[in-house]
Amino acid sequence: MINRLTLIGVGLIGGSLARALRDAGHVQEIVGYGRGLANLQRAVELGVVDRIETSLAAAVNGADMVVLATPVGAMAEILGAIAPYLAKDAVVTDVGSVKGAVVTAARAALGGRFSNFVPGHPIAGTERSGVESSFASLYVGRRVVLTPLPETRPEALARVRAMWQAAGADVVDMSIEHHDQVLAATSHLPHLLAYALVDMLAQLNDRHEIFSYAAGGFRDFTRIASSDPVMWRDISLANRDAIVEMLKRYRTELDGLIKAVAAGNGGSLQELFARAKAARDALMQNDQKKD
């Protein structure tokens, strides 16, 4: 049971966690903090949080669990601001899609309290943002990755694990380095490709006609290009090395595809398409078995 949960950032991710924990009876009081006052007031109206604070010091005062649900680029400043006001045994965790940069910031900001910091990342979400987009079942059956360090207190890790399990998530542990590499391939690269494709087409002279014929395939592929640009800017910069490596690999694959199409090499194209189809079909079958 969490006595007082402070959410720093009450949008889709933070708001959905609050809703889930409230429904599970795992939290007594939820305090919200964020830069958008209108969004915070809406969170109170919706019953997502019990009250809001407009200063970080007041927001974390008396909290036994603090969750950072802000863009990765803002976390270093926030961690430095809250460090002097945290309760002695307060546990701090985050939901950032990049772990290396966040851990570095937390170590520098929290000092002796770093052992109570548990890096985390829920692999769930939608392209929408804001507290009105939040819903209690977002994490049900979804995976949450925790990346504890040798100095992480077992009690802090256990409390964060229990929190996510109460929200319905499947919690796994992973090293920081492996997490950032895996997410660069499976999440960060697809988002960058979706943004790039939409931006490329939007610059064409006949873009209005092109978009008027956009059907299911285009909409499915580019859905995530409607995600928060600030969040994805921060992710791209924070995990730049792993993302650049994946972009280079994709460029090599794309160069091979260009050659095959230009040469009229139907055999190579069919082999590539068949491999990709088999891999995705297997992935979908595994997901259905889990459900």
How do residues 207-218 score in pLDDT, each as one tens digit? 888 888 888 889
How do residues 40-50 score in pLDDT, each as one tens digit? 999 999 999 99
How do residues 240-257 score in pLDDT, each as one tens digit? 999 999 999 999 999 999
The answer for residues whose C-beta is within 8 angstroms of residue 124's C-beta and 6 or more apart is 13, 16, 138, 139, 142, 143, 144, 169
* pLDDT above 70 (res 290): no
Q: Which CATH class is domain 178-290?
A: mainly alpha
Domain boundaries, the chain: 2-174, 178-290
CATH 3.40.50.720 for domain 2-174, yes or no, is: yes
Residue 19, pLDDT score: 97
